[in-house]
C-alpha cells in the first residue's frame, strides 16, 4: 500500500493557526494558536472580558473582522496600517510596530482577537497614552468603553460585587435578545398568515 503523501517541508508538524470561527458570536469560545502552531488555547471573550457587554464585544469582533483582510484570525502590520488610515489616524511603520508590541502577548508581531480586545480593556482602564496609536484606534473606532467595567472599583470586594452585577446584566441581555427573536418570529408568522388569507381572497 502506498504511503500517505507527506506534507511540504515548510508545513510539516504545523497546523493552521485558528482565530475566531467565521460567523461565531463574540460570546462563543475562540481558539487561538501560538506562533509556529506549537500550542493552542481557547478563550471565551464574554468570559474573560466581562467588563464589556455582549453588544460591545460584537462591535469589537465586527471591527476586527472588517480589517482582517487575510481572514486568518489575525491583524498583521499591513492590515493595521490600512485600519489606521481608514480611521483617519495613519501611523509610521515604527508607530505600527509599537502599537502591536504593546499588546502582543505571544510575540508573533500581529494581533489576535484576544490581543485586539486588550486594546479596549486598556482604553477603558485609562492605561493608554493619549498620543499613542492604540488610544487613537480605541477612540476613533466609535466603540464606547468609557462607562463600562470594574475600573471604578476601589477594592477587591467592590470589584467582585460589580462582576456579579455584570454577570446578571449579561443574563438579562441574553433574555432580552431571546425575547426579541421570539417577537420577530411571531410577527413573521402573523404576516405569513395575513398573506395567505389575502391570497385565498384573490383565488376565490
Give CA 132 to chain center in angstroms. Answer: 21
Is-contact 145 56, C-beta < 8 A? yes
Confidence of residue 22 (pLDDT cuts 50, 70, 90): very low
Residue 142: predicted pLDDT: 78
pLDDT: which is higher, 161 or 87: 87
Q: Which of 129, 137, 132, 123 is nearest to 81 (CA)?
A: 137
Residue 68: predicted pLDDT: 96
Mean pLDDT taken over the chain: 77
Show the DSSP H helices in 87-155 as ranges.
93-103, 113-124, 133-140
Residue 199: predicted pLDDT: 73
Confidence of residue 148 (pLDDT cuts 50, 70, 90): very low
Determine the average pLDDT of the residues in 171-182: 81
Cell reading at 169: 446584566
The DSSP H or E segment spanning 43 is strand 40-43
Burial 41-54 (b: 16+ CB within 10 A, else e): eebebbeebbbbbb
- CA distance to 43, 105, 142, 161, per residue, from 49 (Å): 10, 16, 18, 16
Amino acid at each position: 500500500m502506498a504511503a500517505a503523501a507527506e506534507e511540504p517541508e515548510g508545513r510539516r508538524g504545523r497546523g493552521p493557526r485558528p482565530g475566531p470561527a467565521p460567523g461565531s458570536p463574540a460570546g462563543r469560545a475562540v481558539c487561538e494558536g501560538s506562533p509556529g502552531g506549537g500550542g493552542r488555547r481557547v478563550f471565551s471573550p464574554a468570559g474573560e472580558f466581562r467588563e464589556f457587554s455582549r453588544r460591545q464585544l460584537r462591535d469589537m469582533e465586527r471591527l476586527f473582522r472588517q480589517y482582517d483582510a487575510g481572514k486568518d484570525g489575525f491583524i498583521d502590520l499591513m492590515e493595521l496600517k490600512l485600519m489606521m488610515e481608514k480611521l483617519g489616524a495613519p501611523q509610521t511603520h515604527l508607530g505600527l510596530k509599537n502599537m502591536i508590541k504593546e499588546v502582543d502577548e505571544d510575540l508573533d508581531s500581529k494581533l489576535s482577537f484576544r490581543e485586539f480586545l486588550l486594546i479596549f480593556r486598556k482604553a477603558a482602564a485609562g492605561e493608554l497614552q493619549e498620543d499613542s496609536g492604540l488610544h487613537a484606534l480605541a477612540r476613533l473606532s466609535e466603540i464606547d468603553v468609557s462607562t463600562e467595567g470594574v475600573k471604578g472599583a476601589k477594592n477587591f470586594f467592590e470589584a467582585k460585587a460589580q462582576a456579579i452585577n455584570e454577570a446578571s446584566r449579561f443574563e438579562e441581555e441574553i433574555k432580552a435578545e431571546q425575547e426579541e427573536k421570539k417577537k420577530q418570529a411571531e410577527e413573521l408568522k402573523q404576516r405569513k398568515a395575513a398573506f395567505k388569507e389575502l391570497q385565498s381572497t384573490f383565488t376565490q
